[in-house]
Amino acid sequence: MADYLNFIDGQWTGASSGEKREHFNPAKPNESIGFTAVSTVADAERAIEAAKKAAPGWKAMSSVNRGELLRKAADLLEERADDIAKTATLEMGKRFVETKGEALRGASILRYYAQEGYRTKGEVLPSASDGTTLLAVRVPVGVVAAITPWNFPIAIPIWKIAPALVFGNTVVWKPGQETGITAAKVAEVFKDAGFPKGVLNLVLGRGSVMGDILSTHKDVAAVTFTGSNAVGQHIAKLATANGKKYQLELGGKNPAVVLEDANLDLAARLVVDGAMKQTGQRCTATSRVYVEAGVYDTFVEKVIENVKNITVGDGLQEGITMGPVASKKQFDTVTGYIQKGKDEGAELLYGGGTLNIDGGYYIEPTVFGHATHDMTIVKEEIFGPVVALMKVADYNEALERANDTMYGLSAAVFTDSLEKAFHFMENSEVGMVQINGETGGAEPQAPFGGTKASGQGPKEQGQAAVEFFTTNKTITINPFTK
């Protein structure tokens, strides 16, 4: 099997320790798909040094030319979408149609930020002094560490890397270890697009080893992280103690509210899509649903009808609508939550079991009903194909319950009432609100991120990205020399 290596200072290189990790297909756990380097702190330090060395030249390049390189990368990513998507499916189980869509989304993100190279980088401000010109310009922060998860191994890294690069920063990228092969193929896109050496560096390895050095090294100016709350808070402490900017996108426990005046067919279909797409392994997945009492039974029937149409299997096969979870660890975590739901008295309406298909990590799409707000499956992020339905008296109770959580990433309401839709928009305590839509999804031009424990620091994507990847510099020009 092939070896996939670190990419440091324009060169592919193995880990200084010589250690490798073997990757297996979660749909067929005995099928090896390749090896990746397992980096050490010394490898991370070399990557940071390369990024620091490349920073002055990259910053000096016109932002228009930096954007042109992103556009070339977009073209290459689109050309290689099938290969990269297949690799991601083999590494973490998500269906090929989903990973292909993710790769194409990555190309769209690159094209969006390529155009950022043409935008203004600041503004001219009025000065109180006659004849004085006052400027506020945006400048890059320096070396950025991007620490990304396994569940979206193409799109999430790109929506961090693309704005970092176009705004003039250099990057050290540490991807989720589970999807290191996919990461290497994405890094190769940037290499082949002609980015100067040292501008983007890839280090593969354990987060427990790499996270600390990337969050504390004196030459790293900013850390952008997507992942678990526990790791995110650890990174925040390290970054704060070492005077670094940080950006955290963390977990979610995303609610959907279904009111009596809703289109129940639409609501049921989108709740199921929101809960089960990507096998529920996304931070924006629909996880808990509050349904007005008058339509609860009818809504449950429609949800079950939709769930019965899900076909579980290898994500590379035609006609499959849900793949395996990403790993044995994830399999054990999700099945553990399902058992807690049963033990705590939730009504198992559908699924709840596992499927023996080629020894893969398959879990049935699972629907619980008559859950209560204090149950574990309602309070904690599961990151699997599990959704809990709850009956509420009215909209006010639904909103109160939806907001009663440590998380604040995404929420949806299904209603034909313009008044309630606008009230939900104003009062839902999340970073992203969907009206008659599923909780997942965001477009490249729109800010992405949550509130409460779901996110800290400036939002990602769209124009919001400039807040994190640049800093303001104020310049006063006085033409009088005497």
Six-digit token string for 393: 């008296």
Residues 91 and 238: beta-carbon distance below 8 Å: no
Six-digit token string for 74: 């977009």
Can you point out the beta strands (E) in 47-163? 122-125, 133-140, 143-147
Cβ neighbour number for residue 123 with a 10 Å cutoff: 10
Parallel, antiparallel or unpaired: strands 3-4 and 20-25: unpaired
Q: Could you give the CA distance from residue 457 to residue 408 in angstroms, rounded to a whole number?
A: 14
SS3 content of the chain, % helix, strand, coil (to 5): 40, 25, 35
H or E element at residue 190: helix 180-192
Six-digit token string for 148: 């990304």
178 tagged catalytic: no
Nearest residue to 373 (alpha-carbon basis) of 348, 394, 398: 398
Amino acid at 311: T
Nearest residue to 450 (alpha-carbon basis) of 408, 405, 404: 408
Residues 201 and 7: beta-carbon distance below 8 Å: yes
User: Residue 459 has what DSSP assignment?
Assistant: P
Contacts with 102 (C-beta within 8 Å, 6 or more apart), sequence order = 85, 88, 94, 152, 153, 154, 155
Cβ neighbour number for residue 3 with a 10 Å cutoff: 13
- How distant, in Å, are the alpha carbons of 102, 112, 132, 339 from that of 108? 10, 6, 42, 40
- How distant, in Å, are the alpha carbons of 12, 39, 138, 204 from that of 18? 14, 8, 41, 12
Q: Could you give the CA distance from residue 437 to residue 129 in angstroms, rounded to a whole number?
A: 52
Q: Which of 49, 116, 249, 260 is catalytic?
A: 249
First to last CA, the chain: 72
Helices (H), 193-327: 207-216, 229-241, 264-276, 296-308
Nearest residue to 448 (alpha-carbon basis) of 320, 284, 314: 284
User: Residue 448 has what DSSP assignment?
Assistant: B
φ, ψ (nearest 5 deg) of residue 464: -65, -30
* Beta bridge partners of residue 414, listed in sequence order: 258
The residues annotated with a catalytic role in the active site are 249
